[in-house]
Amino acid sequence: MTRLYVEDADLYDIAFDWDIADEVDWLVERLGSECRSVLEPGCGSGRMLAALADRGFEVTGIDLSSRMIELARARLATDADVSVADMTDFELARTFDAAVSPINTLLHLTPAQLARHLECVARHLRVGGKYLTQVGLVDATSDEPFAQSHWEANRGATTLRVDWVDERVDLSRGVSVQRSRIEVLAGDRAGEVIEELHEVTAWTPESWRRAIASSPFTEAATYDGGRKGEWPFVDGDAVGGLLWHELRRD
């Protein structure tokens, strides 16, 4: 884990705390009326868990960062079921109706780690349960940057400027090196700049299909999460940074 997910988890929590109400409503529709319990691996500071809990779901989250889990507990009720665990090797001694993983969390796993992760999640889902995961896919024929996001965020007296962009993409190795830069514009830490490199997996539609085919899941549908307010169905060859994949536990 890089500094952003540990020492500066508080800044991460502000930077990624945009309104997800409409997206969560869409996810709830995808989960279906029979879904009562939801697992979020890599739950971070708990904003997705909180939104699902507000809609009546029983939620459980795990994350490798103890600081993220502290923030998630503060955001949720005191008896919230969140704990420190490795998303590639965990045992919770129960099953869930569904699981979710937003904002490209799974890109931080290597292909071998993703395989172990999917096995772990499958063991924790009932047969037929859904795993809705947001994983962007790269167009191997294009030179366009994969990650290219810029935004501002604020909470109280703190204002941040955030840039998250590709440094380079190496499809021969299947990796994307991305640069995150958070500049504190106002607040107690004004003037600080936190800049880091993140090596993540660069999945293409073909390599993603192979990974899912060798897992306990079947991809039932793919949606374009980049078109806010719509999230339309797209085919399996779609590319983009915000694709949602509806995986079903075989």
| Cβ proximity of 165 and 200 under 8 Å | no
Structural domains of the chain ordered from first start: 3-138+203-249 (3.40.50.150), 148-201 (2.20.130)
pLDDT at 78: 67
Q: Could you state, in chain order, the average pLDDT of each consecutive group of 10 residues for the chain (250 residues)?
A: 92 94 95 96 96 96 97 85 97 97 96 98 97 95 80 97 93 93 97 96 96 98 85 92 95
Closest-CA residue to 247 (of 149, 129, 106): 129
pLDDT tens per residue across span 182-221: 999 999 999 999 999 999 999 999 999 999 999 999 999 9
Question: Which H, E and C letters describe 174-237, residue by residue?
Answer: CEEEEEEEEEEEECCCCCCEEEEEEEEECCCHHHHHHHHHCCCEEEEEEEECCCCCCCCEECCC
| Cβ proximity of 204 and 102 under 8 Å | no
Amino acid at 188: D
Q: In the structure encoding, which two tokens stand for residue 218, read together?
A: 């079947």
